[in-house]
Amino acid sequence: MGLWDKVVAHQLIDIIQWVDETRDTMVWRFPRYENEIKNGAKLIVRESQVAALVAGGKLADVYQPGTYTLSTPNMPILSDLMGWKYGFESPFKAEVYFVSSKTFTDRKWGTKNPIMLRDSEFGMVRLRAFGTFSVRISDAATFLRQLAGTNSAFSLEELDQQLRDMVTARFSDVLGSSKIPALDLAGNYGQLGQYVSTRIETDFQTYGLQIVNFYVENISLPPEVEAAMDKRTSMGVIGNMAAYTQFQTANAIPDAAQNPGGLAGIGAGMAMGVNMANAMSQGLHDQQTVAPAGPPPLQKKTSYYIAMNDQQAGPFEVSALNDKVAAGSLRRETLVWTTGMPQWTAAGSVPELASLFKDAPPPLPPRG
């Protein structure tokens, strides 16, 4: 082989392939430089890749994973553009773009500013949210035309911010229209994720993209609202404030006894508390004396929990328990409990419930 033949052979490209060693490259252009592609060259497209040929600035053939011999039968669109009606023998020039079709996972999203919402319980609230989503290129031709262009390489980093803005905008729309109370949002993360995926599907298709999955990891209230909720929860746990105060005082007595004047201080404090309580009681009494008499308060109905099949059921009002007696699911020996009872007690031993069993037969005697 002569020197000229060696030079020509070296310039002709006969194998075209891409081995991706990165994690975020979406498009990579085969480095042809001034070389020409040899007629009959091998094009190797691996799994999770798509190859596209561009000639004269126009997108021609797109190849799915596989091995191809670049000739007229395997390049129908390019052959038509170049006017190769009966095949060709000489090398040709074309740009080859490899497009990654794998799923790009663990993309972060989050609200830059709080989302203003009208909540049924808290009124106007501001919510922040964050999570992850996954995306892939579903249409290589559309992606090349709309985003990648003629770049020799296009990475996910160049698109990340735009994707996050699109996802966050659609999430805000879905959250505002869902009307889910703030306290119930934690139990609806999956449903919100499905709604966002459906709403954003059309937006992604415009760029040849597909959102594979969308996850909501957290939705949080402002710190001051969370602090108020914590106080409200604490008051619910404490329950009876008077009993809690007595408990705190009893715990303080042993420590006070070890300090000079400690018990006296506690006694003075307790006396002051008693005086204040008496003054408040007197004030309330005076107000009640002066204020016109109103109707008596409605009698609060008592509700009972019952033991059914070794499990707690209820609470049920007395009228509902009457139906259970008729159905046979509540008997005299059935254990019941309500607020103020020290322990579970047989229903027949509770005065308020005893009348329910007047017409019910007694339990069968044990077998002898």
pLDDT per residue as tens digits for the range 97-146: 999 999 999 999 999 888 888 888 778 888 999 999 999 999 999 999 99
Q: Which residues pair with 53 in a beta bridge?
A: 96
Contacts of 162 (CB under 8 A, 6+ apart): none
Residues 221, 111 within the same domain: yes
What's the rounded Cα separation, in Å, for the pair 66 and 91?
22
Structure-block tokens of residue 261:
């004047």
Residues 307 and 324 sit within 8 Å (Cβ to Cβ): no
Residues 213, 126 within the same domain: yes
Residues 108, 221 within the same domain: yes
Residues 118, 220 within the same domain: yes
Residues 94, 126 within the same domain: no
Residue 347's domain spans which residues? 303-357
Neighbours of 288 (CB within 10 A): 10
Residues 199 and 174 sit within 8 Å (Cβ to Cβ): yes
Residues 94, 142 within the same domain: no
Structural domain ending residue among the three candidates 42, 74, 100: 100
Q: Let me know if residue 55 belongs to a domain.
A: yes
Structural domain ending residue among the three candidates 170, 203, 225: 225
Instruction: Read off the pLDDT of residues 164-189 as tens digits, 9 standing for 90 and up.
Output: 999 999 999 998 888 888 888 888 89
What residue type is assigned to position 196 of the chain? V
Residues 91, 134 within the same domain: no
pLDDT band at 53; cut points 50, 70, 90 = very high
Neighbours of 15 (CB within 10 A): 9
Residues 118, 200 within the same domain: yes
Contacts of 317 (CB under 8 A, 6+ apart): 301, 302, 303
Residues 305 and 350 sit within 8 Å (Cβ to Cβ): no
- What's the total number of domains in the chain? 3
Structural domain ending residue among the three candidates 204, 225, 246: 225
Residues 12, 112 within the same domain: no
Residues 219, 135 within the same domain: yes
pLDDT given at position 215: 94
Residues 107 and 134 sit within 8 Å (Cβ to Cβ): yes
- Least confident range of 147-151, 162-166, 263-267, 342-346: 263-267
What's the rounded Cα separation, in Å, for the pair 30 and 154?
13
Q: What is the DSSP letter of 30?
A: -
Q: Let me know if residue 82 belongs to a domain.
A: yes
